[in-house]
Amino acid sequence: MDRRNGVARVLLVVYAAASLAVAVPLLLGVPGTGELTGTTSGRILAAALLALAWGAAAAARDPWQNRVVIQVLIAFTALAAVAIAVRLLFHDEPYDVDPAWMLLPLAAAAPILLAAFYPRPPRS
């Protein structure tokens, strides 16, 4: 097995687990999920995260055959990082209060890591 594909598999499994970790509390209305709990936007975000988790788990089986799924994950996560950055820059909350600051490094690192370890064709 190509080492790069192995790292891509691990990253995809972590991506799927992280997506589930965010989606499930949104769907169940766990306290502390913020303003999105119980809203249509929160449900749509949770459904999108569940779909991304499903896609990442499927792509982890054979990253080379699921390159399009990985490209969608990279694009979605990069756009999410930009959305978080815009929210942080133009939101009126002080920097130390807004919990989105904790997510920004992870949201920015995910597309970079997925792109860096993009799957290669298997060696024959």
**Range picked from 51-55, 61-65, 82-86 for highest mean pLDDT:** 51-55
User: pTM of this prediction?
Assistant: 0.81
From 48, 46, 66, select the one nearest 56 (Cα to Cα): 66
Any idea which of 25-29, 45-49, 77-81, 90-94 has the lowest mean pLDDT?
Answer: 90-94
Per-residue confidence (pLDDT) for residue 43, from 0 to 100: 86
Residue with token string 């502390």 = 32
